[in-house]
Chain A
Amino acid sequence: MHNSIVLVKQVPDTSNISGKVMKDDGTVNRSKLAAIFNFEDKVALEFALQIKDTCGGKVTVVTMGPPRASDILRECLYMGADEAYLITDRKFAGADTLATSYVLSEAIKKIGNYSFVFAGRQAIDGDTAQVGPQTAEKLGIPQITYAEEIVDVTDNTVRVKKKIDGGYEILESRLPLMITVLKDAAQPRPFSAKRVMAYKGAKSLLELEKMAEGNSLLYSDKLVYEYRSRSLFIPTLTAEDLEIDFARCGVKGSPTKVYAIESVVLSGNDPERVENSKAGMNSLIDKLLEDRILG
């Protein structure tokens, strides 16, 4: 039996940036981008589900983000996760990788009892690949990054194929272990239709509070009780629930600051037109030879 905790993130779809989402000053209007499930994190969840399939155990998903991040938690439940936590608090907003790893490591400690922590190698909105290793360091556990395959699992060890420069290596680690996975490492399983029916109504605390707000006959405490008893409650942890040092969260706890942002402007360079003809090619080659670029 091996319990896994999977770190997932909802990200703006930076792969599809068009003119529509650019502001007048040339920066990206983040709020206009579609929010999607960071793909490598889905692969990480698939790894965890495969461990569960072969060894048994529980798969718990954790995301830190705004209330709407519940969307990807429901997707995790559709894929087969047993439980999904939303870590959310205004105090967490604006966190860099260090502050994020602090909050995530505290949430993982609170959940406890795990053999594996899985995460995607990196999220497409920052491409830093830092949160996994930073979280592992704070948990005091080993890590294997850039994982391509789980080769073998025993009661207290695992063998993992990891990408290295120019090849791969097989590492054996004691458990517990943090593993960050590459996007081609596994094909995330499709949603199970049965699970979609079962969990599409799953709600986080914030969503239940919102339901209660709009209806004087509903009380959020009662809703939480009902949803929990039907296994439809997405547990929500705030800074207070985690009993953590607020100074190490969010903007306050983030040492890195964005000092300046520039949209990438083309140099406005005026290239020399070369005629698509024999004469054009001849004169181009002459110039290249003269400048000692060719020859």
Chain B
Amino acid sequence: MEDFANDIWVFIEQRGGTPADVSFELLSKGRKLADTMKVQLKAVVIGDGIRKLAEETFRYGVDEAYVIDHTDLHDYATLPYSRILNDLVDEHKPRVFLFGATIVGRDLAPRVASHTRSGLTADCTDLQISDVTYLGTEFKDLLLQIRPAFGGNIVATIIAPDTRTQMATVREGVMEMHTLDTPHGVKITEVPYIPNEFDKLISIIEQHREESKVNLKGAPIIVAGGYGMGTKEKFKLVQDLAHTIGGEVAGSRAAVDAGFITHERQVGQTGVTVRPKLYFAIGISGAIQHRAGMQEAKKIIAINTDPDAPIFEIAHYSIVGDAADVIPKFIEAYKSKLK
């Protein structure tokens, strides 16, 4: 075990050379963890024509990037990607290997964990490094993998004390991404890829993708409505408010299920995680699943008819009242201020 460096690895998910945000969020987090452990941060970039992307990772604190660049690797495919990672992990045995909890990350990471018999925790919302005493044994610098469990009613801290590589997938948007003033590493290590028959068992026949015009994650102001809005007609008030103050419209899961708003605008555990400057929660009771997606907002304004709604416990400003009454008042006051 001592023969291998205790490095932290991050899988860089990309499409056509553009990285998934979560991969760079993980690099920023990974840099901090690596500093705590006094080890190196390494990125693994697989794709076609992705050298430039590999160089970009240095601005996020990467010491060394493994690059597997091949025309056959243009699109994500389970079999070649997992085989490449299986071999790399077998060879270098990193101490930590992190993936975004995206459709790709959740498809790929379990195969690698299965092959290398590593502990893998899904959908983490926080990661820490800490010395741990577990069942009377002391472990130095373990990865604490923190995730909601049981429908979000509890938060569990998971450890994998006995495996060489501790693996985790991490939710999108929960970690902050920031660039360094001076890039860290400059080392690119090219890893050859030799296609084989197994890799070609699955082929892509068609691909359809509509780039989403909705960017909730990047919006500084979000106005979200819930089931408490009552009808689709009344939900328009939420849109009116958003338009007036220049915010994006969003909804809780209940609002999506009721057909008030589309799923791509859903905030919460099964939707998007956001951290805007200002978040309006209107007619949203504040179920734990919803709070998980918005509690990091800088300011939260809750509007609800029920003074005991749990949303008020995380709000900064509470307005008890009917949205149909409150929203027009707010819009009017706002408009007169900006005159």
A: which residues have CB within 8 A of B? 14-15, 17, 26-28, 96-98, 101, 124-138, 142-146, 159, 163-174, 255-264, 266-269, 271-274, 276-278, 280-282, 284-286, 288-289, 291, 293-295
B333 in contact with A278 (CB, 8 Å) = yes
Residues of chain A within 8 A (CB-CB) of B148 are 264
* Residues of chain B at interface, number, CB under 8 A: 85
Which one, B152, B299, B302, contacts A293 given CB within 8 A?
Answer: B299
Beyond A255-B160, A274-B317, 4 extra complex contacts between A and B, CB < 8 Å:
A14-B153, A130-B110, A170-B204, A277-B329
Q: How far is the CB of A229 from chain B (nearest CB, A)?
A: 39
- For the complex, would chain B's binding face be called helix, strand, loop or mixed by DSSP majority? mixed
Residues of chain B within 8 A (CB-CB) of A289 are 337
Given contacts A256-B159, A293-B278, contact A166 B334 (CB under 8 A): no
B155 interfacial contact with A, CB 8 Å: yes
Given contacts A27-B154, A137-B110, contact A276 B329 (CB under 8 A): yes
Given contacts A142-B79, A174-B201, A256-B120, contact A272 B114 (CB under 8 A): no
Give Cα A104 to B329, complex, Å.
60
Which one, A101, A145, A256, A272, contacts B106 given CB within 8 A?
Answer: A145
B107 interfacial contact with A, CB 8 Å: yes
Residues of chain B within 8 A (CB-CB) of A138 are 114
A271 in contact with B312 (CB, 8 Å) = yes
Give Cα A163 to B102, complex, Å.
11
26 A-B Cβ contacts within 8 A?
A17-B151, A97-B120, A98-B118, A130-B109, A135-B114, A145-B107, A164-B103, A169-B207, A170-B205, A171-B202, A171-B204, A173-B202, A257-B160, A258-B158, A262-B155, A263-B153, A269-B315, A272-B317, A272-B318, A274-B318, A276-B319, A276-B320, A277-B329, A282-B337, A291-B299, A293-B298
Which one, B103, B111, B211, B332, contacts A163 given CB within 8 A?
Answer: B103
A273 in contact with B163 (CB, 8 Å) = no
- For the complex, would chain A's binding face be called helix, strand, loop or mixed by DSSP majority? mixed
Q: How far is the CB of A218 from chain B (nearest CB, A)?
A: 40
B319 in contact with A274 (CB, 8 Å) = yes
Which one, A129, A257, A274, A278, contacts B110 given CB within 8 A?
Answer: A129
Give Cα A261 to B133, complex, Å.
15
B249 interfacial contact with A, CB 8 Å: no
B: which residues have CB within 8 A of A? 15, 78-79, 82, 102-104, 106-111, 113-115, 117-123, 132, 134, 144-145, 148-163, 201-212, 221, 245, 277-278, 288, 295, 298-299, 301-302, 310, 312-321, 325-326, 329-330, 332-334, 337-338
Q: How far is the CB of B170 from chain A (nearest CB, A)?
A: 13
Give Cα A277 to B328, complex, Å.
11
Residues of chain B within 8 A (CB-CB) of A96 are 119
Give Cα A67 to B195, complex, Å.
45
B278 in contact with A264 (CB, 8 Å) = no
A130 in contact with B205 (CB, 8 Å) = no
Residues of chain B within 8 A (CB-CB) of A262 are 154-157
Given contacts A125-B150, A133-B114, contact A281 B330 (CB under 8 A): yes
Give Cα A255 to B329, complex, Å.
56
Residues of chain A within 8 A (CB-CB) of B155 are 261-264
Q: How far is the CB of A268 from chain B (nearest CB, A)?
A: 7
Residues of chain B within 8 A (CB-CB) of A273 are 317-320
Give Cα A63 to B111, complex, Å.
21
B314 in contact with A266 (CB, 8 Å) = yes
Given contacts A129-B110, A274-B319, contact A169 B208 (CB under 8 A): yes
Given contacts A130-B113, A137-B115, A294-B245, contact A260 B157 (CB under 8 A): yes
Taking CB as reference atom, which chain A residue is nearest B165? Answer: A255
A173 in contact with B201 (CB, 8 Å) = yes
Give Cα A248 to B326, complex, Å.
59
Give Cα A73 to B17, complex, Å.
47
Given contacts A167-B210, A170-B205, A278-B333, contact A259 B157 (CB under 8 A): yes
Residues of chain B within 8 A (CB-CB) of A293 are 277-278, 298-299
Give Cα A276 to B206, complex, Å.
54
Residues of chain B within 8 A (CB-CB) of A145 are 78, 103, 106-107
